[in-house]
Copies of this chain bind each other. A is one copy, B any other.
Amino acid sequence: MIEFQTTPGSYRHWRLSFEDSVATLSMDVDPDSTLFEGYQLKLNSYDLGVDIELYDAVQRLRFEHPEIKTVILDSALEKVFCAGANIRMLGGAAHAHKVNFCKFTNETRNAIEDASENSKQRYMCAIRGTAAGGGYELALATDYILMADDGNSAVSLPEVPLLAVLPGTGGLTRVVDKRKVRRDRADVFCTIEEGVRGPRAVDWRLVDEVVRGSKFDAAVQERALEMAASSDRPAQAGGVELTQLVKEVRENSLHYEYVEVSIDRGSRVATVIVRAPDSAVPADSGVEEAVGQGAGFWPLAACRQLDDAILHLRFNELEAGTLIFKTEGNADIVQAYDDIISNNQGHWLMREIALYWRRTLKRVDLTSRSTLAYVEPGSCFTGMLAELLFSVDRSYMLDGQFEDEALPAATIRLTESNFGSYPMSNGITRLQTRFLGEPETEDLCRATIGKPLDAMACDELGLVTYIPDFIDWDDETRLLIEERASFSADCLTGMEANLRFAGPETMETKIFGRLTAWQNWIFQRPNAVGAEGALQLYGSGARPNYDLKRV
C-alpha cells in the first residue's frame, strides 16, 4: 500500500530550512530509500516516494508557514540539480503506475504554481548543475529560474532522444505555453541530450537569468527577497500545524474522522462519504476560532481526508472503477463553514483552505474513474460539497423519501462559493462548464443561493442528472453500476477525459488532456516499452530497435 502521509521529520529526500520570509527546499535524494525494489535514486533522480515528500513540503509551507513569502528550490548536490524521474523505476513500473505517477507529479507542480499565484508564496528555482528531464520540469513550475553560468549547469529535456518517451510532467507544454519558447527552438531543445547552458538558455527563454558561479548565491538571495517584497502573506501570523491524519485502513474500507470509503469488490465500486461536523463555528468569531482549531477545523480536516482518500483509491485500488460520492449531515452547518471561508478571503488561512478545496476538487475531476453522486435524505450537498455533485459524471437525487425511513427528502443548497471559489482546470466554474449551452441558467442558480432545492427544483435547473423516486431508485442505480462495470476501463477513461472539460482550455487542461494522452499512448508503444524499446534498454548499452512507421 502506498501511503501519502509524511512529516518533515521523516523526510529522506528533501531538506527544508527557513530564514525570515524565505524558505529553502533542497533536493537531497537518498539513493537507497526507494518506494519499490530494483533501482537506486542516484543523482537526485526521483520516484513517487520523493514526490510524496515534495507534495507534503509544498502543503506544509502554505499552512504551517504563513510568514514564508519565497521558496527557493535548489539541490544539495554539487554538480546535479535533479536528473528527473528515475528511468529504471519507470522501466519496471506497470502502465497504470506510470500514468498515476505522472498525474500526481503534475498535480504537485500545479500546486507549486497555485502557491505562487494565489497564496503569494512564490517559488523560484536555483539551478547549479544539470537539471534534466523531470528536473527541468520541476524548475519550470516555479516563477523564476536562475541558473549558474559555470560551464556545467544546464537545462535539458532528453527524454525523446534517450528514452523514446515524452517529458511526463508538463515540460513540453510549459516550454511553449508558459515560457513561450519559439517552437523551432523548442524542437531543437527537446532533441539535444545535453541541453542548453549559459546565455543561450536566457536568449531562448528557457531560464530567466544566468549568473557567474561566484555571484550565484548572492543573486539567488537577492531575487528571493525581491520576490518576497511583492507578497501579501502576513509576517506575524502563526501557522497551522498539519497534524498526522488519523485513519484506519481495513480490507474493504478506509475511515477518517469525516470521510469514509467503502469498497464493494464485486461491483468494483468505492463509495466515498463526506460528513459534516455536529456543530457550527459561530459566525461572529469564526476566523479566530478556525485558527484556534487548526487542523481540526472541519473544512481543512475534511479536505485533507478527502484528498488522502482520493490518492489512496487512485494508487491502491486500481479496480475500483466507479466512485460514488455521498454526503451526510446538516446542511446549515456546512453552509456556516462555507460562509466563514467565503466571507474572509482576506485572511490568509481562509484563503489557503479555499485554495486547498479547489485543488482537491480538481483532483476529483482528474481521477480516471467513473464518478457518480447520490443525493439521498440526510445528505448535505452544500457549498464546497455541492461542487462534488458538479464534478461527477452523473448524479442521482432521490425524489422524496425512502419507504419506511424518517429522514426528510434531500435538498441541495448553493452558496456564493459555487460561483467562483472553485474553478476547474479549464479556468471556469463547474456550473459555468455545466451550463455552457444555456448560460442564463447560471443566473437562475445564483438566485437560489442559500435556499434548499428539492429534487423537482434541481431537475428543472439541471443541477442533477436524474431524480428517481423510491420505487425506481434501487433498480436505476443497480443497472447504472452494472452497466458501468461492463464497459472497457480504458475506453471510459478516454471518454471521460473528453467530456469533462468543455469550454476554454488552459495550460492545465493541455497538460492533463493532450500531453498526458500522448504520453499514455507512447507508454504503450513497443518503441518505448517493448523488449527492444528505449525505456527498457536504457543503461544496458544496447541500442533500441524501433518500428520506423510513422503513426
Contact = CB atoms under 8 A, between A and B. Distances in A.
A323 B234 CA distance: 57
A62 interface: no
Instruction: Assign chain A's interface to a size class.
Output: 35 or more
Interface string A514-551: 11011111101101100001100000000010111111
A183 B432 CA distance: 11
Interface string A163-192: 011100000110111011111111110110
A318 B547 CA distance: 11
Nearest to A183: B499
Nearest to A438: B180
Interface string A189-203: 011000000000000
Nearest to A465: B184
A135 interface: no
A503 interface: yes
Interface stretch (A78-86, A282-290, A482-490): A482-490
Contact of A517 (B96, B321, B368, B518): B518
A512 to B, nearest CB: 9
A528 B393 CA distance: 22
Interface in A137-171: 159-161, 164-166
Nearest to A498: B172
B319 A548 contact: yes
A99 to B, nearest CB: 5
A191 B479 CA distance: 12
Most chain B beta-carbon contacts within 10 A, residue among A164, A522, A551:
A551
A122 interface: no
14 contacts: A100-B551, A160-B488, A176-B499, A183-B433, A184-B393, A184-B464, A187-B394, A188-B394, A318-B550, A369-B550, A489-B550, A490-B551, A493-B550, A524-B524
Interface of A: 95-96, 99-100, 159-161, 164-166, 172-173, 175-177, 179-188, 190-191, 205, 268, 318-321, 368-369, 392-395, 433-438, 462, 464-465, 483-484, 486-500, 502-505, 509-510, 513-515, 517-522, 524-525, 527-528, 533-534, 544, 546-551
Given A185-B465, A514-B514, 13 more contacts: A96-B550, A100-B551, A172-B495, A182-B462, A183-B500, A183-B502, A186-B499, A319-B548, A368-B551, A488-B528, A490-B528, A491-B528, A497-B518
